């Protein structure tokens, strides 16, 4: 799946004749995540998606309207990321934002942001090809999301009882201990022993 994302991002960049293209996933509560970035011939995937607030940004309007739009472009140097903004910038670029229309549960699955030099627009036939690739990208995002959820579930939940696994418990315990160490407070652990649980655990 990662290879497919890389190939598609590379294709999008070539069609747009751009050296900077970013793929964002739409999350809940007006938030988003950076899936990957094409920069100067190289695709960088973000396995741990960087969370970004879409509220009060052009992303919110793009997602609401579900239409391709262009905005001034802010280049986030820390992540080499093109980001649409309402304010004029001196980056020398503008952002072409292409919404990736998904299914009924999530009308817009993601947004492709293409950085293009001010005054240089993408030819109409190439723009049409970009739009034709949008459903593919939306499908990839939705499948990656489902795949990731399945992986997380398999690691954190015990399939027979649907209870959290010991490794997950140890991770959460370490997180809570770190919080207590940093901010102070009291940490309590409740241990429950169920009689004859082995009969259930050994069944099936």
Q: 77 and 141: one domain?
A: yes
Q: 44 and 82: one domain?
A: yes
Select the more confidently predicted residue: 197 or 11: 11
pLDDT at 111: 95
Find the domain containing 173 and state its range.
157-192
C-beta separation of 23 from 2 below 8 A: no
pLDDT digits 0-9 by tens, 18-43: 999 999 999 887 889 898 899 988 89
What count of Cα atoms within 13 Å lies in the side-chain half-sphere of residue 45?
13
12/31 Cα distance (integer angstroms): 24
Q: 82 and 161: one domain?
A: no
pLDDT digits 0-9 by tens, 59-79: 999 999 999 999 999 998 877
pLDDT band at 201 (very low <50, low <70, confident <90, very high): low
pLDDT digits 0-9 by tens, 94-152: 999 999 987 665 689 899 999 999 988 888 888 888 888 888 888 878 776 665 555 45
Q: 147 and 185: one domain?
A: no
pLDDT digits 0-9 by tens, 172-199: 787 788 778 878 888 888 888 888 777 7
**204 domain-assigned:** no
Residue ranges of the alpha helices (H) in the chain? Answer: 2-16, 58-65, 124-156, 166-183, 197-201
Q: 87 and 62: one domain?
A: yes
Q: 124 and 169: one domain?
A: no
**197 domain-assigned:** no
The domain total for the chain is 2
Whole-model pTM? 0.68
CATH number at 20 reads 3.30.450.40
């Amino acid at each position: 799946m990662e290879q497919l994302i890389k190939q598609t991002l590379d294709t999008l960049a070539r069609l747009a004749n751009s050296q900077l293209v970013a793929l964002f996933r739409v999350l809940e509560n007006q938030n988003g995540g950076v899936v990957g970035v094409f920069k100067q011939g190289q695709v960088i995937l973000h396995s741990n998606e960087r969370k970004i607030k879409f509220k009060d940004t052009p992303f919110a309007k793009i997602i609401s309207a579900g239409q391709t739009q262009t905005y001034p472009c802010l280049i986030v140097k820390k992540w080499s990321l093109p980001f649409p903004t309402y304010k004029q910038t001196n980056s020398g670029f503008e952002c072409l934002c292409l919404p990736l229309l998904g299914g009924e549960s999530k009308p817009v699955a993601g947004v492709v942001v293409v950085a293009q030099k001010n005054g240089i627009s993408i030819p109409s036939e190439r723009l049409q090809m970009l739009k034709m690739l949008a459903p593919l990208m939306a499908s990839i995002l939705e499948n990656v999301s489902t795949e990731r959820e399945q992986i997380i579930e398999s690691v954190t939940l015990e399939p027979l009882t649907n209870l959290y696994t010991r490794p997950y418990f140890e991770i959460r315990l370490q997180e809570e201990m770190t919080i207590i160490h940093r901010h102070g407070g009291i940490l309590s652990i409740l241990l429950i022993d169920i009689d004859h649980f082995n009969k259930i655990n050994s069944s099936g």
